[in-house]
A and B are shown apart, each in its own frame.
Chain A
């Protein structure tokens, strides 16, 4: 006969107001196997827990029930207390008589609530009688980290992990790490030069003994689970031998062909063999094969002639490497929404309508104009510039419903840069609201308006058109209630930040979720902001939504610290609530393999002494199984059960109702 203890919690008045807890305890004591019952004001308090521990010892209880709040709240607490008193923690069960009972009943006579609590507790008792002691699962952890995306968030995550003594592979799609931040001129609100603060970190990542850079590389496939990921990475052909290249740049110098530079956002040309920007890390050129006549038509080859260390390799092909990692940090960043969809602003038709990132390049001292603000059409210095905010942001109809968060700040910065570089120039800003929450942010915007003379107009722009070499902007000033028309020399659009192309396919490979804008979902928006629902995969930076550099860096560090916590032990423990296959009855129909949403079930075989497979059967990988129970429902021969939630337990509970 089992020796069961039942502890009924009053939860102050949360439960006691509509449930007669004393009566519940009394009724339970009449059931066979129940040797101890009590009720108490707060079971989760430390005297409550102590009472529970003592009752287990004094009455030699072998299993206990706490009828209290949802198991989400305190199952862990009570199982821990039971364990401390010498019980297997899985011999402790919770009956939810708060969220699912007392809170939904308003009957002050306590009749309905009490009856229901008695029923629920009795069901749990019968279920508990069938509980088997379970053991926590231990999983070995491979102490290597993978960071996907080499922008500022990814670099920070890689550096922090590497400083913690963990070997890190940093994978970047572009030929250089640095990401979008490498494009920026100055950064708000301190106005320090973006490259000046970024490039030391890029170099540090390159030189760090624990970091391996895979630039110009992409993720092909991700298998495995927390602590044990196997990742295939495609290293795209650079047509340059990375081991031999010294980064002298002779090949770039001599290359006679030019094409549009993606890094410069179409504002400048680059050679066909190139590094995206002078401070590229690694400083190894890459060949733009579709535009290279040597690759396409076997003509030219000037780069190979001038290369001293003979590292030009026209025959190079993509290489796929497979590596193992314990944790993955995803930091794939953002891109700008295509502006062409906003016909009213004329982007793409009118040369002097540019986006914010293009303005960054114009203002950057390493940009196509050497830091002078010159408009793209004729190279003249614009005497007036109109900045249009919320292009696509907060525009559910034509753009996205969310606020891109950084545009108010960078537009204020742009007006400052412009007024510093073009004395006497006038800037106008059409805005919806000025959102400048952040340390020293509001002061920064005030400075743009008060000291640098930016003219802020609250209203939207209806139309932008060209007239006599000017860009005419028609809009509304809703504060004065008038229509305004500004003949400007240049227009800058603060375009919405959107997720990267291909963000959804990477999410699929990783098995993580994303929202309708293809930004990755955090596990919990407030309390678990850098974790995903897939254990062992963490997030950092703008792949989760618009954010500024300080936030991205903070998240990079946060994701790294989560990974480091995982790496702190050589194995990790997991809840033993996983699927169990009955090896004698499984007939290998593989319905469970198809049904499992986590790919946790493998096709296994039973071998005889000669080593030949005599039978096939399903095998559950405890490291991946989340205990959802889908396979249990799918199994036609009833050969799968869920530990802690076996059919036997569930039916026992139902029968007790």
Chain B
């Protein structure tokens, strides 16, 4: 099974491990991520004003190109997923905006593509039971905090990947890998997002709340599907550690990295990156296989 794949910019730069671990895991599970022949940045933010059609042209171009490669397009990055899926809906549902956008990008795209996430492929096309069957290194005893953030789920009427206020898709995946997901209250709270650029204090506070709440509930590791969440959390963690008595940092990784690890892939190929809180040590200590 070949699935058209839109990696997005971050997965080519900061989050290479996200990309490589996802590709390898796909191979083990019997499907292939076939990168779009031509793609550009998704725009990285869905415009909040309905008449900002210019803001939709970049994602529309991605979608128009993707529609030439197949009937669906898959992404990994939560932000890309959010922007592409919502833009696609606008193009599909609003005739007038569709006309203007197509005029700008010189395409004739109608919004018929279906935008899916890697997690949906695992859940709906492969099935978590098949994932379990392919696991070589069960993540037994690894207490994972599944951090959804905002972009994967909201607005829920547009995204529809899972229940917005009580999602389970991450936890279900982690269970299928043998890990123990821990419930923590901030799992769908914001990390601070783009405020990383101009207001670090807010990001540290919000990301800190997420990490403190996860670790407070006993998590060994935090998994995410969003490069921006991963960046914000990891970047804030040193300060949170210094400012919060009793807080001890944990690794912050992409779900595909744990997936690849559980599927028995070479640890070094999963792109865990150099961090003070190294997931490899934790996994080595916990998982014996």
Give the B-binding residues of A (Cβ under 8 A). Answer: 342-344, 346, 349, 397, 463, 465-467, 472, 474
Contact = CB atoms under 8 A, between A and B. Distances in A.
Interface hub of B157, B164, B166 (most chain A Cβ within 10 A):
B166
Given A342-B165, A467-B216, 7 more contacts: A343-B167, A344-B165, A346-B166, A463-B185, A465-B185, A467-B185, A474-B185
Contact of A344 (B166, B184, B217): B166
A457 B165 CA distance: 23
A103 B165 CA distance: 55
A348 to B, nearest CB: 9
Contacts of B157: 397
Contact of A343 (B166, B184, B216, B217): B166
A343 B185 contact: no
20 contacts: A342-B165, A343-B163, A343-B164, A343-B165, A343-B166, A343-B167, A344-B165, A344-B166, A346-B166, A349-B166, A397-B157, A463-B185, A465-B183, A465-B184, A465-B185, A466-B183, A467-B185, A467-B216, A467-B217, A472-B185
Contacts of A397: 157
Contacts of B217: 467
Contacts of A349: 166
Interface string B124-155: 00000000000000000000000000000000
A465 B183 CA distance: 9
A344 B163 CA distance: 10
Contacts of A466: 183
A276 B82 CA distance: 50
Contacts of B216: 467
Contacts of A346: 166
A465 B184 CA distance: 8
Contacts of B163: 343
A347 to B, nearest CB: 10
Contacts of A467: 185, 216-217
Interface in B158-213: 163-167, 183-185
B165, B167, B216: most-surrounded residue (chain A CB, <10 A):
B165
Contacts of B185: 463, 465, 467, 472, 474
A498 to B, nearest CB: 19
Contacts of B164: 343
B166 to A, nearest CB: 3
Nearest to A346: B166
A398 to B, nearest CB: 9
Contacts of A474: 185
B55 to A, nearest CB: 24
Contacts of B167: 343
5 pairs of A and B residues whose beta carbons are closest in the complex: A343-B166, A343-B165, A465-B185, A344-B165, A343-B163
Contacts of B166: 343-344, 346, 349
Nearest to B185: A465
A344 B217 CA distance: 18
A472 B213 CA distance: 12
Interface string B44-85: 000000000000000000000000000000000000000000
Interface centre among B183, B185, B217 (most CB of A within 10 A): B185
Contacts of B165: 342-344
A242 to B, nearest CB: 45
Contacts of A463: 185
A344 B183 CA distance: 13
Contacts of B183: 465-466
A598 to B, nearest CB: 39
A472 to B, nearest CB: 7
Nearest to B163: A343
A344 B187 CA distance: 11
A341 B52 CA distance: 33
B155 to A, nearest CB: 9
B10 to A, nearest CB: 29
A432 B47 CA distance: 30
B157, B164, B183, B216 pick with most chain A CB within 10 angstroms:
B183
Contacts of A344: 165-166
